[in-house]
Amino acid sequence: MTTTDPSPTAARSGASATEAFRASRPQGTGTEVSAERVSAVVQAVLSGVHDAIRRTKVTYPEFQGAKQWLIEVGESGEWPLVLDVFIEHVVEEVAADSQHGTQGSILGPYYLPDQTRLPSVARLPMRSDEKGTALVFTGQVRNLDGQPLAGAELDIWHADDDGYYSGFAPHIPNGNLRGVVVCNEQGRFEISTIKPAPYQIPPDGPTGKLIDAAGWHPWRPAHLHLIVRAPGFRPITTQLYFEDGEWLADDVAQATKPEPVLHPQPTDDGRLHARYDFALEPLG
């Protein structure tokens, strides 16, 4: 990490994401996986890498360059960013095979648990001068038969109008644009917030440098992150995108889907209103 970088907020997000990930892990994970399973998965991963090396005829200098990059990813704490931007979408795709109801999407590296609990009609915590177009997001949480789910909650977090997340950028107050909204008896909610900007992979870290070296773009379309929960139902981790949003058809994280897309309408008072209803499946 450089100390002269013009956007120090970006340079910090990797390290904070590593910290948040470690804090979220239950103790002692890993030991419950059988040797058979470890062997099967790791062998498949390694043979994919071996095949790529043969196919593209990777040279020694390239191998050493890759080693250097991997070391830098670890040192900068950017493993959560690398894994969530390039790989998580396929893990989610596999998980989605056995899920019904609202489509899921990746969790990403910027979830923080235990945010402020808010009533069903709520404004997300924000700065008094929070920039961005005001957005009212309403909807209902139901079961697969369309019955409303009382006691459902929406754990919501999103980037600000500059594409930065609180907790990962030191200039933003903790808890900004995050909250756990408790729905009413009808499973309904009305959340006032601002429309987030598209998100850019921090350009100054190893993930950004790789994207640049490959000539790719570093953007994700604007999105709201959600974990929707209700007692007795399978929680759904998803993201909602915005119709016609920039990068919607070309997400660097390949995590967009056609269905979880908002169609915001302008309101008389100059805000945007978007509606989305969620369907949860019972725990199996």
Q: Is 109 in the site for ligand DHB (CB under 6 A)?
A: yes
Kindly state the smallest distance separating residue 168's Cβ from ligand DHB, in Å: 9
Q: Residue 169 touches which of Fe ion, ligand DHB, none (CB < 5 to 8 A by kind)?
A: none
Q: Is 218 in the site for Fe ion (CB under 5 A)?
A: no
Of the candidates 82, 71, 72, 69, the residue with the CA atom closest to the CA atom of residue 1: 72
Residue whose entry in the numeric block shows the structure tokens 């598209």? 198
Q: Which stretch binds ligand DHB (CB under 6 A): 30-38, 80-88, 89-97, 269-277?
A: 80-88
Query: Which residues in 183-256 belong to E strands, given as ranges?
Result: 188-194, 199-200, 219-220, 223-229, 236-242
Q: Are 220 and 247 in contact (CB under 8 A)?
A: yes
Kindly state the smallest distance separating residue 33's Cβ from ligand DHB, in Å: 25
**Tokens linked to 181:** 């909204």
Q: Are 203 and 138 in contact (CB under 8 A)?
A: no
Kindly state the smallest distance separating residue 195's Cβ from ligand DHB, in Å: 15
Q: Which stretch binds Fe ion (CB under 5 A): 100-108, 123-131, 227-235, 247-255?
A: 100-108
Q: Is 248 in the site for ligand DHB (CB under 6 A)?
A: no
Q: Residue 253 touches which of Fe ion, ligand DHB, none (CB < 5 to 8 A by kind)?
A: ligand DHB
Q: Residue 111 touches which of ligand DHB, Fe ion, none (CB < 5 to 8 A by kind)?
A: none
**Contact positions with Fe ion (CB under 5 A) in 106-125:** 108
Contacts of 209 (CB under 8 A, 6+ apart): 69, 203
Q: Is 195 in the site for ligand DHB (CB under 6 A)?
A: no
Q: Is 14 in the site for Fe ion (CB under 5 A)?
A: no
**Tokens linked to 195:** 């429309």
Q: Is 85 in the site for ligand DHB (CB under 6 A)?
A: yes
Kindly state the smallest distance separating residue 205's Cβ from ligand DHB, in Å: 10
Q: Are 105 and 85 in contact (CB under 8 A)?
A: no
**CA geometry: angle 190, 191, 193, nearest 5 deg:** 150
Rg value, the chain, Cα: 20
The rounded distance, in Å, linking the Cα atoms of 239 and 109 is 13
Q: Which residues bind ligand DHB (CB under 6 A)?
A: 81, 84-85, 106, 108-110, 199, 201, 220, 253
